[in-house]
Structure 1
Amino acid sequence: MFTRLTALCSLCFMCVIAAVSSSSYADEAKWPDKPVTIVVPWPPGGVADFVARVVSQKISASLGQSVIVENRPGAGTNIGSDYVAKARPDGYTLLLGSSNNAVNKFLFRNMPYDPIKSFTPVSLLVYVPNVLVVHPSVPAKTVGELISYAKQHPDELTYASAGNGSPAHLAAEKFKTMAGVRIRNITYKGAAPAVTDVMAGRVSMMFTNLPASLSAIQSGKLRAVGLGGTTRSPVVPNVPTIAESGVPGYEASAWYGLMAPAGTPANVIEKLQQALASARTPEALDALRQRGTDPRISPPEDLQKQLQTDLQVYGPLIKAAGITLE
């Protein structure tokens, strides 16, 4: 009796498993059959939000479903990132990830997610070079002249940063270390007031992403002396990279990429890759480039490598600079 009952229970259990597996396979096969959400862990209006909206509009047509952008800012992108990390891995909730996912590992004592293990990479989307800008009153028109002046006047120059551990802060500290200069940090609660004070001449300089400062550069309110990317930008072709201007090997670019919760099925990732490939229209690429970004679509492995590289680069930099969150 016991043996027959056990066998019957086992058979029922196997049938349930088979049914669940079959249903799961069917769901994956028809993905997407409802709207997809891209979570942006920043407020609306910035370059990250812009990138997400361009991408969402373009891949929506390929997927045959609406792709919604949902802003979940806060805690240095941790709120939105953690939301996606804990979402169901079915491809319907995606994250606009960035270098913040790696940097935060060294800034927050209790990270709610793992930057590598909690996500399945989909693709890099854009690189966004940082640009070193100075107030026009600063007696330097090139990176070389700026370094020379800073060495002759240690601690006289100041730089604005949008908070401890922000991309602007890390880019400046990296520059100070590699150029061997002493420039004082003035910390702000956000990029907007930081840029405002540099334009007003209350602070000497700052590193900021090119899209955020492009109009001020073009109007002459800020002077761009060097780009943090590996190549020059077509929107400011006369601005050399910092690496070619006397600081060999310097690079400080932000990036944005598409990520899914860990465990998202491979065929869903493949469909997202196909949708991104079809979204590479001249119109979409031009829109992204005009905002100062460098668009690209990559295999998932490239995004994984980028995250691992950031962990290796920013960990020692944050420790050496003694950067902590207040």
Structure 2
Amino acid sequence: MRTLRAPLCLALLALLALPLPVPAQKYPEKSIRLVVAFPTGAPYLLALLMSEKLRDSLGQPVVPDFRAGAGGTIASELVAKAPSDGYTLLLTSATIVISPSLYPKLGYDPFRDFAPITQIATVPNVLIVHPSVPAKTLNELVKLAKAHPGKLNFGSGGLGSGSQLGSELFKTLTRINIVHVPYKGAALALQAMLGGEVDMVTSTVPATIPLVNAGKIRALAVMAPKRVAALPQVPTTAEAGMPELVVITWYGLFAPAGVKPEIIERLNAEVVKLMNAPETRSRLAQVELDAATSTPPEFAKFVRAESDKWARVIRDANIRVQQ
């Protein structure tokens, strides 16, 4: 009997000496830093909304950190270098995938350095013209431009801006010759149109609604698959026979690459629940924003498609921006 007890005791002692399994850490255990690439407009409103609502669902503060500059690249580079622990997130727009085609020496790679969490919201763009332009429809504008190559021009918020890329896509798809006139910001491009300096502009719907309703500009087409409630009389580009002419400004949430999948899933679940809540949708609708959510794989696929799309536009238009 003793000969059996000795080995048994030794085995028990060996088991007791093994390290106990460490309980999985509960996420989050501290405040989350939400780096926001733009300090005004939709990103600002979305950051405040997430800060207000996610605190309750996550049980920790979500603190916005507005890091504007260089077309969103400052914020992206900061988050790309942050620890992969889920406590630093990035709220940005399509600039995260557009900038690499404009600035070859960026300090981040949008696919290597980030983990997509979910799309958050979208806002469609609209192609507008000055009232002096005789075209009343998108197809009439194309015919006018082809009849007078190089005579019509379009304003934008600057080289590589979303407003330029939207108009360049229109130019490429229709094979028209129109001249680019860059300004230092989308607001200045709109002002230039109001003053008759430029013939057309691609702009977000919210920025154009009061001007269209006042008759100061003419909206020819919503650059999205469906019409918008705020401009019900304006047809879509698809209705004009140009379904590929889609220009939608989008906002999304990213984490640094390497964040644990369970953390990504938790963040995705909470943000999707927030954005799909009736109260959230109502608040966003007041500023012409549409809630738009996705799974991490869906968002990753969307981001890749956006990167490919705008890289082609930038290459075809030979857009070069000094870094």
Q: TM-score, normalised by structure 1?
A: 0.87
Q: Does 1:172 align with 2:162?
A: no
Corresponding position of 2:98: 103
Corresponding position of 1:50: 45
* Among 256, 261, 272, the residue aligned to 1:261: 256
Corresponding position of 1:294: 290
- Using the TM superposition, give the Cα deviation of residue 175 of structure 1 relative to its aligned residue in structure 2, in angstroms: 0.2
* Among 262, 286, 299, the residue aligned to 1:303: 299
Secondary structure (helix, strand or coil) at the match of 1:314 reads helix
The root-mean-square deviation of aligned C-alpha atoms, in Å, is 2.0
Secondary structure (helix, strand or coil) at the match of 1:245 reads coil
Secondary structure (helix, strand or coil) at the match of 1:244 reads coil
Q: Does 1:198 align with 2:189?
A: no
Structure 1 gaps of 5+ residues are 1-14
- Using the TM superposition, give the Cα deviation of residue 169 of structure 1 relative to its aligned residue in structure 2, in angstroms: 0.8
Matches for 1:1-326 after TM superposition, within 5 Å: 22=22, 25-26=24-25, 29=26, 31-42=27-38, 44-279=39-274, 280-326=276-322
For residues 262 and 32 of structure 1, the distance between their equivalents in structure 2, rounded to whole angstroms, comes to 18
- Using the TM superposition, give the Cα deviation of residue 50 of structure 1 relative to its aligned residue in structure 2, in angstroms: 2.0
Alpha-carbon displacement from aligned partner over 1:193-242 (angstroms, at most 9, x marks no partner) = 11111122221110012223233223332221111112111222221111
- Alignment: residue pair count: 304
Alpha-carbon displacement from aligned partner over 1:3-36 (angstroms, at most 9, x marks no partner) = xxxxxxxxxxxx9xx89x948x42xx2x223222
- Using the TM superposition, give the Cα deviation of residue 37 of structure 1 relative to its aligned residue in structure 2, in angstroms: 2.1
Farther off after superposition, 158-167 or 308-317:
308-317
For residues 83 and 295 of structure 1, the distance between their equivalents in structure 2, rounded to whole angstroms, comes to 26
For residues 165 and 228 of structure 1, the distance between their equivalents in structure 2, rounded to whole angstroms, comes to 18
CA contact (8 A) 2:227 2:235 kept: yes
For residues 150 and 86 of structure 1, the distance between their equivalents in structure 2, rounded to whole angstroms, comes to 46
- Using the TM superposition, give the Cα deviation of residue 148 of structure 1 relative to its aligned residue in structure 2, in angstroms: 1.7
Corresponding position of 2:13: none
Query: Which is higher, the Rg of structure 1 or of structure 2?
Result: 2
Counterpart AA for 1:34: K
- Using the TM superposition, give the Cα deviation of residue 61 of structure 1 relative to its aligned residue in structure 2, in angstroms: 2.0
CA contact (8 A) 1:47 1:211 kept: no
TM-aligned CA distance change 1:222 to 1:60, over 3 Å:
farther
For residues 195 and 297 of structure 2, the distance between their equivalents in structure 1, rounded to whole angstroms, comes to 44
Q: TM-score, normalised by structure 2?
A: 0.88
CA contact (8 A) 1:217 1:223 kept: yes
Secondary structure (helix, strand or coil) at the match of 1:229 reads coil
TM-aligned CA distance change 1:57 to 1:196, over 3 Å:
same
CA contact (8 A) 1:84 1:260 kept: yes
For residues 96 and 139 of structure 1, the distance between their equivalents in structure 2, rounded to whole angstroms, comes to 41
Q: What percent identity do the matched residue pairs reach?
A: 38
TM-aligned CA distance change 1:58 to 1:236, over 3 Å:
farther
